[in-house]
Structure 1
C-alpha cells in the first residue's frame, strides 16, 4: 500500500557536516509519521545511515570558486541546470516543505522551492552563516541556527530565525550517554586525531613530530587513533612504529561518534559538526581551525568551546610539533583538567535539536 504521508525533502551538501544533521532530522520526522527524501550531490552516495540509494535524488550543482570568468560561468550554468531539474523533481514528488543544510548542492532545490511556492527552511550549524545559506537566507520561509546570536545584527533575518542546536544522529545520542572518565595518572591515555571528511594533511605533518617530542614515559601510555590520508601513510606510520606507539591509522572512520566517546582527548579541525558532536558527547579537545576561509567559520566554531574552557583553540600558524607536544604533556599531567574540560564542553551541547527543528519544520509546513 502506497504511503501517502506528507513528504519533507531534505537538501544537503555531500559532506558529513551537512549530511549528518539532515539524517538526524530525517530520523525524527519518520518517527512522527512523515516521509523524507534527500537531494544532494553524488558524494553523499558513499555515506551510510538513514538514506538508502532509493531515498536519494542527485541534482547537478557546482561551487562558485574564485573570480575566474570561465569558472563562474560554468558554475552559473550548472546551478541553473540543477535548479530546472530540482523544479521538475518538486513537481513530481510534491513535498510539503524543503529543508536545506548548507553547501552549494542546496541551492537548486531551495531556489526551486521558492519558485514553486513550497515552504522552505535552512539550517546552519556554524557560528557564521555559510555562503550558500547566506544567499538563500532572504528567500526562505524560516531559518534555524545551531548557535544563538548568529543573525542578531540583521533585523530582516533575525525575525524568522530560531535557535535549535545541531540535530544529532542516533550514533551521537548513544555516544553521549557514555560518561567521561579521566585517565589515571600512570594509566592509558587515549588520543584521537581527526581532520574532517577527508582527513587533514596538517595533522600528518604535525602530530607525529609532536608524539616524538613527548617524554618516553608517555609513549608507553599512549593509545593513538589517527585519521591519515592514504598518501600520507608512508611517512606517518614509520614514526609510530619506531617509537613503539600503540596506534590505529585509517583514512576514514565510519564510527566516529563512538570513537569520540571512548577517547580522553581529541585533536581535530573545528567544522561545525565536529564541534557540535564534541559538545553533545562532552569531550576535551585541541582544535585547529581551517585557515584561509572567507568567513573564518571554523575559528568561530572553535571559540564556542574554547570560551567555556572545553577546548584549546590553536590557530594553524601556531600549530607546531613543539606546541602540540607541550599541550599534550600538560593535559596528560592534569587528569582533573581534562575532566573539567569535558564537563565544560558538555555544558554547551544540545541533545534535543532534532526535535526542536522538526517542530519548526512542521509549523512552517503547516502540518
Structure 2
C-alpha cells in the first residue's frame, strides 16, 4: 500500500445492503486520491472482485443471538478474535479514518479503530439504528445517517449525527437519468418483483396468485420481471404461463437498477439499499417490510416512501393475493397517479449521498472534522 496517499479503512458486512453504500463511498474516495482498505467477512465472495479497494481483508465476525447462551458465547468469542486481528491490522496500516457500514462484522474494526485513537465514522443505512451500530455509536467520531430523523439513538449520540443520505452506486445514478416510462391505454405495463435473500419466497407465493385474479385484459398488458429462488423458478414460470402473463423469472439480476428504471411499478421488500435506489431512480412501489425484525428497520424504511406518497406499505399479514390484485387493479389503471408517485419518490432521493459522506471523511482525514 502507498504510504504517500491518505488511507481509509472501510468496514462492511459481506451482504449487498452494507456493501453497496460502502462501494459507492470507496469509488468516490479513490477518485479523490485515497487508498482504500476493505475489511469484511467471508460472505463477500465475488462482490470483492468489483469493490474499488486496494486491498480486501476478511476477519472473523458473528452475530450474537438469543437462541441459546452457547451460540451467543461463540459469537462473542468470534468477535473478540476479529477485534484482535483488526487491532493488528490498524497498527500495521495506520489508516487516517475508519468508516463502518453496520452489522456485526463492523464491530471489530470500528472498536479497534476507536481504541487506537483513529477518527471514525459509522454509517446507518436504515431509518432506525441497528443493534451493532447502537453499540458502536457512542464510541465513534461521527454517526452518518440516511434519514433526517434517525430513530433509536440517545441525546448524546444525536450530537454526533450528520445526515448524508444512503450512498448509491454509479449504475444507480445512471439509471436515474432514465425518465419514467410513459403509460398509454394499450401499451404494456412493466412490473418488477424482487425480495432479496429473505423475501423472494413470499413474492413467488403471492404475486403469481394475484396475477390470476386480474382481468384477462390487464393480464394481457402486464410484463413481469421477477426474482425467484432457484427452487421456485419452474413453479413460478408455470403459474404465469397458466395465467397468460408474459414473465421473465431469474434467481438474480445483475442489472437491477436498470430494470427498476424501466418498470412502471415495483413490488419488493424495503431494505435500506432498495428504498434508496427506488428514491434516487424515482419509481413507485408496493413495499412489504420483512416482519419479525427486532428493530423493525424495514418498516421504518418503507415509511419514508409511503409518507412521501411514493409507495404503498403493506404489512406481510395483509400481503395476500386478493389484496395485491386489488391494489394492482387500482394503481395500474391510474397512469396519472403512478406518474405522481414516481415524482414523489424522486423528490425523496439523495443522489449525492456518496459525495456528502466522502466530504465528511475528507474533513476527518485532514483533521478538520
> Same fold, TM exceeding 0.5?
yes
1:129-278 matches, within 5 Å, as 129-150=129-150, 154-197=154-197, 199-278=199-278
Offset, 1:306 = 0.5
Deviation of the 1:234 alpha carbon:
3.2
Alignment correspondent of 1:322:
322
Q: 1:48/1:69 Cα in 2 relative to 1: closer, same or farther (>3 Å)? A: closer
Closer/same/farther in 2, CA of residues 9 and 62 from structure 1, 3 Å limit: same
Q: How many pairs align? A: 367
Assess if the C-alpha contact under 8 Å between 2:12 and 2:19 holds in 1: yes
Deviating beyond 3 angstroms after TM superposition, the runs of 4 or more aligned structure 1 residues are none
* Other structure's SS at 2:44 match: helix
Show the 5 A alignment for 1:291-330. 291-330=291-330
**What is the TM-score of this pair, normalised by structure 2?**
0.96
1:150/1:53 Cα in 2 relative to 1: closer, same or farther (>3 Å)?
closer
How far residue 364 of structure 1 moved from its aligned partner, in angstroms, is 2.1
Partner SS state of residue 286, structure 2: strand
- 1:33-182 matches, cutoff 5 A: 33-47=33-47, 50-51=50-51, 55-150=55-150, 154-182=154-182
Moved more, 325-334 or 153-162: 153-162
- The answer to whether the 8 A contact 1:193-1:266 is kept is yes
TM-score by length of 1: 0.96
Tell me the C-alpha RMSD between the 2 structures. Answer: 1.7
Question: CA 1:85/1:2 → structure 2, altered by over 3 Å: closer, same or farther?
Answer: closer
Match of 1:12 in 2: 12
Report how far residue 111 of structure 1 moved. Answer: 1.0
1:253-282 alpha-carbon deviations (Å, 9 max, x no partner): 111111110111000000011001100110
Cα distance change of structure 1 residues 294 and 152 upon mapping to structure 2, 3 Å threshold: closer
Could you tell me how far 1:250 is from its partner in structure 2?
Answer: 1.1
Q: Please tell me whether the aligned partners of residues 17 and 272 of structure 1 are also in contact (alpha carbons under 8 angstroms).
A: yes
Residue 359 of structure 2 aligns with which residue? 359
**Is there any run of 5+ residues in structure 1 with no aligned partner, and where?**
none
Can you give the 5+ residue segments of structure 2 that lack an aligned partner in the other structure?
none
Q: Determine if contact 1:208/1:236 at 8 Å carries over to the other structure.
A: yes
User: Tell me, what secondary structure is at the counterpart of 1:45?
Assistant: coil
1: CA distance between counterparts of 2:257 and 2:55? Answer: 24
Structure 1 CA distance for aligned equivalents of residues 351 and 53 of structure 2: 28
Q: Distance in 2 between matches of 1:328 and 1:224?
A: 13
C-alpha separation in 2, matches of 1:28 and 1:313: 33
When residues 295 and 107 of structure 1 are mapped into structure 2, their CA distance, relative to the original with a 3 A threshold, is same
Say which SS state the counterpart of residue 165 (structure 2) adopts: coil
Q: In structure 1, what is the Cα distance between the partners aligned to 2:3 and 2:340?
A: 49
Structure 1 position 220, deviation (Å)? 1.5
